[in-house]
Structure 1
């Protein structure tokens, strides 16, 4: 069997100290393989978002190890950490995190700007991503003027511009109506199938989880179920 793209061993994450200490993760071990689609499910406060944040190197675990293609991520610091996160991962969040007064294109090319990609190449790749998401005609529009579905498609375009290996999606359809949410889901799973991008989704939505290859259930900071989803 091929090596996992992410390997997690006994990861724990605590906040606060003494009587105020809260253990968000209490010893999580799992492997995620390249090209998989994985749903992390659980109630509010279960630890699922904390798990996503440590997997995506947005937060450090209190203890335990996270390896990215065999590399211990605790060895990554400063620019190396930022470069790895920016190049390897794409992010799709429920809240969009678009700069309302900036153009759609400026929002989409932001990861490339951070990575130091030149202006002409940023525009080329940004427009290519927007075209892929059928938003090229909105490139000059301000983000504030987009519908919810258009905003989420813009966020997916932004996630794609650095050609990520892994997309993390945190409640990606939570702010969308059922029809629009279905379109966004279809886009994410098409990217997973056709481009081989590993898809890690945090969700309350069991119907969305059922579309993934695997469903990992977390409760009180522990994985209580990890199973393949029937096709």
Structure 2
């Protein structure tokens, strides 16, 4: 459901999405939002900005299977997460999205630091989307520095610079700033989309749900400009 968030009027409609790399609903929601934008005649009016958020900041840096991560965090029967993965796999595939259930799980903070570097270079959305799409397709291990550096090069980043960022702690403050700002806006889970600082939508909406949010935001922006 959309919640009111005050904003100043702007010519472009900025859509900010707090998101995490390994979140299946973030992956599905991103594609639904892009479809909703592409379906509008004024699609070039919308500017998508991704913002960092960690769903599981306590996850280890060493990659583990999704089942192992579930047992470590929750205990019990790993079949619960396996069944959930199969359900979202079927849903994603019905929407034309590749979805591997054999993905690895690990701490995403270092990925977010590289993403912040990509943001600085003007290719944040392209970098994030490329890595996430290939990760869910089972084609890329985002926890391997060489793979992440190669992905960065595909969107115009320096491979050497990506490795430098991964080897240090640069952009950590930027990641934390995104997370803290999201929490101030009410983000408790992702995806969390904020439309022009006017409306917020928590969770992966349907294409129609995102379309309604876009239409409402444009209406509110026009009313504010009048």
- TM-score, normalised via structure 2 length: 0.29
More relative contact order in 1 or in 2 (CA 8 Å, sep 6+)?
A: 2
Q: Which protein has the bigger strand share?
A: 1
Q: Which protein has the bigger helix share?
A: 2
- TM-score, normalised via structure 1 length: 0.28
